[in-house]
Amino acid sequence: MAVTPNARLTSLQVMQDAPVIPVIVLNDVAHAVPMARALVAGGIRMLEVTLRTPQALACMEAIAKEVPGAVVGAGTVRSAADAAAAAKAGAQFAVSPGYTRTVGQACRDHGLSLLPGVATGSEIMMAQEDGYTELKFFPAMQAGGPAMLKAWAGPFFDVKFCPTGGVTPGNAADFLSLPNVACVGGSWLVPGDALAQGDWARIEALAREASQLPRSK
């Protein structure tokens, strides 16, 4: 998919761009741009920068301004204020650990595509009532793993999932082989030690491997 900076993306386009969306935790703004360039060079362009550190918004802003091939997303969006701040920083999509209608409406108001977090059938139904059919399954392994997704495939045949939480290079293929999984979320693409050491070549290599993981058609 061709990525156009500042173009409005659907949630499905975000999920379909690559097999893995990296879940990124940044503590140093100086790491943001070279890390993003390494991920893009490796074929990963949808970048979920989590709102777990005070530096997260500044990191998003730097990536959005300086890495034209990247599409910045905000992770750990839990409130309307988070959505507003992420959009102001240049995010084009949002990922939430759960779902509330307030968060859903705020993301719509600010032009952010949203992958709402769900872990139960009731949460899926609530998200669907509000028009969301591309969802984050979180925490994936703790909430039932591939077996749960297989069970959901019948009643929720029209939903696509991005399992996140406990997904690793060792089990990613088990998720990606499922027809209701569009991609997975994983933190292994951006290891903390690689960030600390400025080992951008390692991050690029991990991104390239992840970008080539096979998916169900």
Q: Considering the domain boundaries, does residue 208 fall inside one?
A: no
Overall number of domains in the chain? 1
Give SS3 for 163. Answer: strand
Q: Considering the domain boundaries, does residue 37 fall inside one?
A: yes
Q: Considering the domain boundaries, does residue 120 fall inside one?
A: yes
Q: Considering the domain boundaries, does residue 216 fall inside one?
A: no
Q: Which residues of 199-216 are buried (b: 16+ CB within 10 A; e: fewer)?
A: ebebbbbbbbebbebebe
Q: What is the pLDDT of residue 131?
A: 97
Q: Considering the domain boundaries, does residue 180 fall inside one?
A: yes
Q: What is the pLDDT of residue 8?
A: 84
Question: How far apart (Å, rounded) are the C-alpha atoms in residues 196 and 25?
Answer: 12
Give pLDDT tens digits along the chain (217 positions): 444 445 689 999 999 999 999 999 999 999 999 999 999 999 999 999 999 999 999 999 999 999 999 999 999 999 999 999 999 999 999 999 999 999 999 999 999 999 999 999 999 999 999 999 999 999 999 999 999 999 999 999 999 999 999 999 999 999 999 999 999 999 999 999 999 999 999 999 999 999 999 998 7
Q: What is the pLDDT of residue 7?
A: 65
Query: Which CB contacts under 8 angstroms, 24+ apart, belong to 151-157?
Result: 152/121, 152/124, 152/180, 153/178, 153/179, 153/180, 155/121, 156/121, 156/124, 156/128, 156/180
Q: What is the pLDDT of residue 183?
A: 98
Q: Shortest CA distance to 165 belongs to which of 149, 143, 194?
A: 143
Q: Considering the domain boundaries, does residue 212 fall inside one?
A: no
Positive/negative CA dihedral, 41, 135, 24, 79 = positive
15: domain range?
11-203
Q: What is the pLDDT of residue 1?
A: 46
- pTM for this one? 0.96
Question: How far apart (Å, rounded) are the C-alpha atoms in residues 83 and 94?
Answer: 7
Q: Considering the domain boundaries, does residue 215 fall inside one?
A: no
Kindly report the CA angle at 86 between 143 and 4, in degrees rounded to 5?
Answer: 95
- What the block records as the tokens of 98 is 């759960």
Which one from 61, 129, 134, 136 is the annotated catalytic residue?
136
DSSP state of 165: S
The CATH number of the domain holding residue 192 is 3.20.20.70
Kindly report the CA angle at 107 between 1 and 51, in degrees rounded to 5?
Answer: 85
Does 48 participate in catalysis according to the annotation? yes
Q: Considering the domain boundaries, does residue 108 fall inside one?
A: yes
Instruction: Please write the tens of the pLDDT for every residue from 146-187.
Output: 999 999 999 999 999 999 999 999 999 999 999 999 999 999
